[in-house]
Structure 1
Amino acid sequence: MKSVCLYFQIHQPFRYRKYRFFDIGNDHYYYDDYANETILRKVANNCYLPANKVLLEQLKKHKGRFKIALSISGIALEQFELYAPEVLHSFQELADTGYVEFLSETYSHSLVSLFDGESFERQVKDHDDKIETYFGQRPTVFRNTEMIYSDDIGDKVYKMGFKAMLTEGAKHVLGWKSPNFLYCNAVNPRLKVLMRNYKLSDDISFRFSNKGWNEYPLTAEKFVNWMNALDKNEEMINLFMDYETFGEHQTKDSGIFDFLKNFPEVALNSGEFTFDTPSEIVDKYQPISAVHVPHPISWADEERDLSAWLGNELQEEAFGKLYDLKDRMLRCTDPVMIKDWNYLQISDHMYYMCTKFFSDGEVHMYFNPYSSPYEAFINYMNVLSDFRIRLNALVPESETDREIAALKEVIDEKEDRLTKAEEELRNLKKKLKEAKGATLPKVEKKKTTKKTTAKSKTKSKSN
C-alpha cells in the first residue's frame, strides 16, 4: 500500500501601517493593528476553526488510521495569542489526539537560511521551543520557509539534529524521476528528503474551484482514482499545501470542506493507502537515491526558485540592508528591538515587492496589501531606516555612531528632566491656585424680601 503524507502550512504575517518618511526618528510603532486583527479573525472564521473541526472529527473517527502533519510559524502563533486564542486551543485539540506531527521551521517565516547559519539556528530553536510549549512535541522533521531547499541548507538542517526535510518535487530537479519516493541529501545522505507531488497538491489548492478546469468538479472519489492510477511501484504521495486552501483560497461554497471530510474515508476504504506522518515515512522507507539541488528551490511560482522574494533589485536591496544589521542584532538584548527584528525578517515583506506581472502576477497581487511593489519597497525601507536609528542608539556601529548615540542619550536625559520640571511646575501652580481659593472669605449673599423690594421700587418712583 502507498503512504499518503498530508501536510499543511499555517502562517500569517504582521503587516505594517503606512509608515511615511516623516515618521522616521519620530514614531517607532510600525504595525497596522486593525488590518492584522481583521485579517486574522477573517481567516480564523473561514479556515482555521472550521477546518480544524473537520480534521478533529476525522482523526477521532479513524483512530490512528488517519494522520496529518502541520507547521505553524512563530509569527502565526503570536497572532493566535493576541487575536484568536480559540484557534490556538483548536490546534491543541488536534495535538491531543496523538495523530498530528508538528514540524519545525523558522520562527519568523524568514529567508535567513540563505544568509546566516547562526541566526538560522537561533530562529529554529525559538520556533521549536514555542511548539514544545504549546503542543508537547519537539519537532524532528524540518520544513523551511516556502519549502526552500538546497544541498547546503539540507546539510545544515541535519547538523541541527533533524532527520528529514520537506521540499518541492521540482521538475527541473527530479527530471524523469518521480516525487513519489523517499530521497536523501546529496551532501549528507543521512538527511532524508520528502518531495512534494505538486500536480496532485495543486489540483486541490489551486484548481479545485476553477470551473474552466476540464476536471471540475473535483470529488474525493475522483481524486483517489487518480492516486490509484499511479505506478504501483511508487511508495508514497506527498500532498503539501497551505492550510488556507480550506475556506479561504477555496471558499466553503466550492465544496472544499466536503472534500476534506470525505477524502480520508474514501482513501482508506480503497484498501490501497495508509496515512503516515513524515517521521513515520522516514522510518518506513529507504531512500532510492540522492537528490542534487546545488541552487535553492522553493514551492513558489512556475520557476520553483527564489525569484518570488529575491528576483529584482528592490528585493535584493531590502534584503541586503536588513541583514547588514545582523551582527549588531546578535549583541542586542532589548526585547522590543528583538521583536521588531523578528517581524522585519518575515518573508512576506519581500514577496510584496515582487514585480512579476505574467504567469504568477495574479497570485502575488492576491496576497499583496500594497498598490505596487514600489510602494511596498518604500514603506519597508522607511521602517528599516527608523529601526536602524534605534539600533545605532543601543549598539553603535562606528565611532561616529557612538558619538551620536552619546549625544542622543544626553538630549534624551535633558528632555526627560525638562518634562519632569514642567510637570512639577504645573503641580505647583495647581496647588497655589487651590490654596488661594481656600483662604478667601466667603461672602454671604444678602437676602431680600418681597416687602423690601416693594419699598425700593416706591422710593425709586418718588425720586
Structure 2
Amino acid sequence: MRTICLYFEIHQIIHLKRYRFFDIGTDHYYYDDYENERSIGDIAERSYIPALNTLLEMIKDNGQYFKVAFSISGVGMEQLEMHAPHVIEKLQELNETGCVEFLAEPYSHGLSSLANEITFADDVKKQCVKMEEYFGKKPTVLRNSSLIYSDDIGGQVAAMGFKGMLTEGAKHVLGWKSPHYVYNCNIAPELKLLLRDVNLSDDISLRFSNSEWEGYPLFADNYINRIASLPEGEQVINIFMELSALGIAQPLSSNILEFLRAIPSCAKAKGITFATPGEICQKAKSVGALDVPDTLSWVDEERDVSCWLGNAMQREAFNKLYSVADRVRIANDSRICQDWDYLQASNNFRFMTTKASNVGLDRGIYSDPFDAFTNYMNILGDFINRVNSLYPDEIDNEELNALLTTIKNQGDEIEMKDKEIIRLKAKIEKIQASDEKVKGKAEKAKAVKTVAKKTPGRKKAVSASVKEEKK
C-alpha cells in the first residue's frame, strides 16, 4: 500500500551579537538576546502555533489514519523553553495522540558528523535525552542536520543503535533509481534509509505561493493525484521540510494550511496511507544498498556541503572550532558546553558562504561573508582562550589522548554497570513476584484447612481442594 511519510524540522538560529577584536578576553557573552527573543516569538506566532494547531486538528479529524514526524534541535528546544513554552506544550499535546514521532538529530544542529565522530555521537545522545525527557520515548530514527549523509556517517549512525536515517533523494546519488523505496546504508545494511522526494517537498515548501510557477495554484487533489499516478512499485513517498515553511516561507495568506488540511481526505480517497519514519523502517524491507561515498545534503542545487565549507574562510572557521572538540569534552564546564552547542550551529558557517543560491539568505547583522567570518572568529578566539584556560594547550597530544582513553574506558565501565544494575533489578522483581505467588498459595491453603476444621462434613471436599492447590 502506498504510504506518505510527512516530516517537519524545527530549529531556531541563535543570533550572535556584534563582537569586536577588542572584546576578546573581556566579554564572554556572545548572543543578541533581544533578537533571539524577537525572532522565536515571531516564528511561533506566524508559523509554529498555527501549523501545529492545524496538524492537531488533522489528527483528531482522521483518528489514527494521519501521522506526522518532527525533528527538533536541542538549541531550538532551548529557545522554545525560554521564549515560547506554549509551542512545547502544543508539541506535547500532539505527542499524546500517539500519531506523532520525534526523531533524533545533533543537539547543536551542527556539522559534527563531518569533523569528530565522538562529538557527533555525544551531540546526538544529548538531543535524544531531551526528546525522551519531553515526549517520553527515545528516538529510533535519526535525521542529521540538513539531511547530511554519507556512507561513513551512516556507519556511525548504525553504530549508535539507530534503525533508520533520513536523507536527500539527490539525483546525482540515485541516478536512475527512485526515492520512493526504502534503501539501506552501503556499509551498515541494518540501517535503513528514507529519501526525501525533492519535487513533492519543494512544491509545498518553496513554490506553493509563487504565482509565476507553472504548477500554481497547487490544489490538494491534484497533488495527491500525482502521488497516486506513480509507478505501482513505488510505495514510500517521503515529504520533508522545515515547519517554518508553513507561515514564513509560504505565508498563511496563501492558504497553505487549508491545502495541508485537505491532504488526508484526498489521500484516503486514493487508498494512500500515512506512516512515521519509525513505522516504515520497522515494516518495510530495503530494496538494496545506496552508495554515497561523498557527503550530500538537502541544500542548494549541488546537494552537498559546499554552502557551509565551500570557501577558505568557512573551512578555517570550521577547522579552528573543532580543533578544541576533545578539550571541550574533557573540560565538561556547563557554560563552555552551552557556548560550544551554539557555536557549532551550521548557520554560523552558512552566513560566510560566497555561493549564489536559489533560496534567499538573510545574513542578519552581517553585511557580507567576510563580515560574518570576522565576527565569528573574534568570538571563537575568546571561546578557545577560555577552553585553554581550563585545559591548557601546552599539554601535548599524547597526554590528551591518554586522558581521552581513560574517560572512554570509564564511560564504558559505567555503561556496563548500568546494564548490570538493570538486569539485577529485573531478576529481583521476578523473584519477588514468585515469592508473592507462593505466599498467596500458602495463605489460601491455610484458609482452606481452617474451614475444614470448622466444617467436618466437608472434609473430603476440602482435602481435594488442598491437593489441587498443592499441584
The TM-score range, normalised by the shorter chain, is 0.7 to 0.9
1:39-438 correspondence to structure 2 within 5 Å: 39-271=39-271, 273-357=272-356, 360=357, 363-366=359-362, 368-398=364-394
Q: Which residue of 1 aligns with 2:7?
A: 7
Q: Does structure 2 conserve the Cα–Cα contact (< 8 Å) formed by 1:81 and 1:88?
A: yes
**How far did 1:228 drift?**
1.5
Q: Does structure 2 conserve the Cα–Cα contact (< 8 Å) formed by 1:69 and 1:102?
A: yes
**How far did 1:366 drift?**
3.3
Name the CA distance, whole Å, in 2 between partners of 1:82 and 1:138: 23
**Deviation string for 1:28-70 (max 9, x for gaps)?**
1110001111000000001110001000111111111000011
Say which one has the larger Rg: 1
Name the CA distance, whole Å, in 2 between partners of 1:269 and 1:207: 25
- What amino acid is aligned across from residue 79 of structure 2 in structure 1? Q
Q: Secondary structure at the match of 1:231?
A: coil
Name the CA distance, whole Å, in 2 between partners of 1:351 and 1:373: 9
- What amino acid is aligned across from residue 383 of structure 2 in structure 1? F
- What amino acid is aligned across from residue 83 of structure 2 in structure 1? Y
**How far did 1:269 drift?**
2.4
Q: Does structure 2 conserve the Cα–Cα contact (< 8 Å) formed by 1:152 and 1:187?
A: yes
Distance 1:379 1:63, change over 3 A: same
**How far did 1:229 drift?**
1.7
Q: Secondary structure at the match of 1:365?
A: coil
Q: Secondary structure at the match of 2:257?
A: helix
Which sits farther off after the overlay, 386-395 or 366-375? 366-375
Name the CA distance, whole Å, in 1 between partners of 2:147 and 2:361: 21
Distance 1:49 1:263, change over 3 A: same
Q: Secondary structure at the match of 2:195?
A: strand
Name the CA distance, whole Å, in 2 between partners of 1:200 and 1:325: 41
- What amino acid is aligned across from residue 335 of structure 2 in structure 1? V
**Deviation string for 1:227-269 (max 9, x for gaps)?**
1221122111100111111001100111111111111221112
Name the CA distance, whole Å, in 2 between partners of 1:264 and 1:366: 34
Name the CA distance, whole Å, in 1 between partners of 2:298 and 2:364: 18
**Deviation string for 1:180-216 (max 9, x for gaps)?**
0010111011110111110111111111011101110
Name the CA distance, whole Å, in 1 between partners of 2:228 and 2:310: 39
Q: Which residue of 2 aligns with 1:34?
A: 34
**How far did 1:393 drift?**
1.6
Name the CA distance, whole Å, in 2 between partners of 1:244 and 1:373: 24
5+ residue gaps in structure 1?
401-463
**Fraction of identical pairs, as percent:** 50
Name the CA distance, whole Å, in 2 between partners of 1:127 and 1:297: 22
Name the CA distance, whole Å, in 1 between partners of 2:216 and 2:363: 25
Name the CA distance, whole Å, in 2 between partners of 1:326 and 1:115: 9
Name the CA distance, whole Å, in 2 between partners of 1:150 and 1:41: 35
**How far did 1:270 drift?**
2.3
Name the CA distance, whole Å, in 1 between partners of 2:377 and 2:62: 51
- What amino acid is aligned across from residue 296 of structure 1 in structure 2? T
Name the CA distance, whole Å, in 1 between partners of 2:96 and 2:297: 31
Name the CA distance, whole Å, in 1 between partners of 2:200 and 2:304: 20
**How far did 1:367 drift?**
5.8
**How far did 1:219 drift?**
1.1
**Deviation string for 1:165-187 (max 9, x for gaps)?**
01000000000000000101110
Residue correspondences, number? 396
**How far did 1:368 drift?**
4.7
Q: Does structure 2 conserve the Cα–Cα contact (< 8 Å) formed by 1:352 and 1:364?
A: no
Q: Secondary structure at the match of 2:359?
A: helix
5+ residue gaps in structure 2?
397-471
**How far did 1:364 drift?**
4.7
Query: Alignment RMSD, CA only?
Result: 1.2
**How far did 1:399 drift?**
6.6
**How far did 1:283 drift?**
2.3
Name the CA distance, whole Å, in 2 between partners of 1:379 and 1:366: 16
Q: Secondary structure at the match of 1:296?
A: coil
Distance 1:354 1:22, change over 3 A: same
